[in-house]
A and B are shown apart, each in its own frame.
Chain A
């Protein structure tokens, strides 16, 4: 049997495999340093947790050709302005609750999770809560007793009883409000937000 041509040699491809893998890994590490800085809470794309003290709008930016969150005037959650630390504690409680109650195996967050229940990325801004004035309380009431307050929109799918306490429910609402302020590059597409007070 004749020897393999140079382009099919084992040795050549071993070298390629090593160099390509190493190169791509190094590029990924560099990009990771950049991305991590840009998604740290308090950056332009991912606001600090005290954004829950503000009104959050979702508006179309013609230059980027996509919708983006815009942070407006004061609109404290549950009527109370929080310090940066208090806000972080509340969002942390919310995130812990979202994980401990396994929300992600029915819902999607930032589009990731399961598809049995609606996406939560912009849940805070959803029209389903009716009026802005009652939204917070409606969300807390719903989370604490989802069976009695079920809204299935004709699917028959109800959220189960997860034993969510009032502080946990408030934490989840804070987490959802904060999450809605993340710049998700226009996802979800064409979202129609709840009617809010005019931008100031």
Chain B
């Protein structure tokens, strides 16, 4: 074991695979921000890259890079913890490595086609080879099939490892959740001219991923992360995880109904979608209570300050971004005016960042710590840890700023376009040219640059934190074990 330098001999086999996924995730995270900046500029200067790299292309890469970097982040996180949690080496390590390269090359090909081919004629072959044209799951059909195969191989690695080693509450929930995650993706893989039917199943994928299975997946990572960083007791985090699963699936599965208000589906979804989606914030409150309570019980004594900070940011970001911002416009009486406006963009930015980006960054910090041989990452870091603190601040302030700017634009849009102007195209443009809307877009851009500065600093910090460090980290898990043994 070497300390203070990146040395893969510090990692187990699963962790070696994990850091590859984290590296690609980080590259795609940077791409997400870059293309977000381009799309943001086009709101202010619409001639920018017109007919070269149009808004639809930039926006597609922006949201697809996000989905894929988060997926890579989750896969990396699971590979990271699988040996630790199962107690045995990763099963099918060679396959896992091969799978990583196939997955990464496929993603690269898809992005190159997005950027250089962009669109095709109105034929099935365009949908199979270029772009499926359905928000969030634009990846062409060949890539859909590839993604499913890659996720199944990943699933095999994880399930087979737990089957060989030991099961726990966390791994049980995790494996069950991965089955649902892979299975749900498949229901979106078909073409129909019927837009209502298309969107009905499309929401099965999008909603049941991001508002159900992804949430449970991060619940598992959170449970494991609190044990690692704080030394929280397994029994407590597992019980909380079950509570979260019960509340999350209890509210989130039928909460799907809030996407079925206006797509041609029957009126009973008003009551079902409204009621269950109003309950959706409850598990997120539970997660905040859980994280903050555990941190308090352990008096914040932890071995990895950046990771714990990001875990706490996750708990609050998930609650505010997904919970509060979602709830604000989830009831049909309000959603009638806000659906399809910048409200959704406001909610989307805070929710994806708060619920998912934060926790993946936390695991990345846990990963670099171990990769450098379990270096000291608590207080008294060189430079007082200014890089992680500033990147943490810039990213959070940047995303929160964009969220508020988009929210104001969204308020204005729903009042002017919907309430006053009767939702016509004339009404749409009346809303878009309102000074308050334009100011909203300008402020979003300012905070977009703040976010970009934050990510630059984050990449720099992840590459350098702990370099040359000679002290080893506090191990709260071992301290807990010792304390219990003494008692």
Q: Can you report 22 residue pairs joining A to B where beta carbons are below 8 Å apart?
A: A16-B242, A17-B245, A17-B249, A20-B250, A21-B246, A21-B249, A21-B250, A27-B254, A34-B266, A35-B265, A40-B197, A93-B122, A99-B191, A100-B119, A111-B339, A115-B340, A127-B424, A147-B51, A158-B50, A161-B51, A163-B121, A168-B122
State whether A126 touches B134 (Cβ < 8 A).
no
Q: Given known contacts A39-B196, A103-B56, A128-B424, is B249 in contact with A24 (CB within 8 Å)?
A: yes
Interface residues of B in 261-302 (CB under 8 A from A): 261-270, 272
Interface residues of B in 390-416 (CB under 8 A from A): 413
Task: Give B430's nearest chain A residue, CB to CB.
Answer: A153
State whether A119 touches B422 (Cβ < 8 A).
no
Query: Top 3 nearest A-B pairs by Cβ distance?
Result: A97-B122, A99-B133, A153-B429
B132 at the interface (CB under 8 A from A): yes
Interface residues of A in 55-91 (CB under 8 A from B): 88, 91
State whether A98 touches B135 (Cβ < 8 A).
no
CA distance A24 to B249 in the complex (A): 7
Interface residues of B in 114-146 (CB under 8 A from A): 118-124, 126-127, 130-135, 138
* B238 neighbours in A (Cβ, 8 Å): 10
Task: Give A101's nearest chain B residue, CB to CB.
Answer: B119
State whether A160 touches B56 (Cβ < 8 A).
yes
State whether B253 touches A25 (Cβ < 8 A).
yes
B194 at the interface (CB under 8 A from A): yes
Interface residue range, chain B: 35 or more
* A182 neighbours in B (Cβ, 8 Å): 195-196, 264
Q: Given known contacts A24-B249, A24-B250, A106-B55, is B422 in contact with A40 (CB within 8 Å)?
A: no
A residues near B (Cβ < 8 Å) are: 4, 8-10, 13-14, 16-17, 20-21, 24-25, 27-28, 31-32, 34-36, 38-41, 45-46, 49, 88, 91-106, 108-116, 118-119, 122-123, 126-128, 147, 152-158, 160-165, 168, 171, 175, 179, 182-192
Task: Give A186's nearest chain B residue, CB to CB.
Answer: B336
Interface string of B332-376 (1 = CB under 8 A from A): 000011011110110000000000000000000000000000000
* B263 neighbours in A (Cβ, 8 Å): 39, 110-112, 184
State whether A154 touches B429 (Cβ < 8 A).
yes
Task: Give B52's nearest chain A residue, CB to CB.
Answer: A160
- The smallest C-beta distance from A127 to any residue of chain B, in angstroms, reads 5
* B422 neighbours in A (Cβ, 8 Å): 189-192
Task: Give A128's nearest chain B residue, CB to CB.
Answer: B425
State whether B342 touches A35 (Cβ < 8 A).
no
Task: Give A9's nearest chain B residue, CB to CB.
Answer: B239
CA distance A160 to B235 in the complex (A): 57
State whether A100 touches B246 (Cβ < 8 A).
no
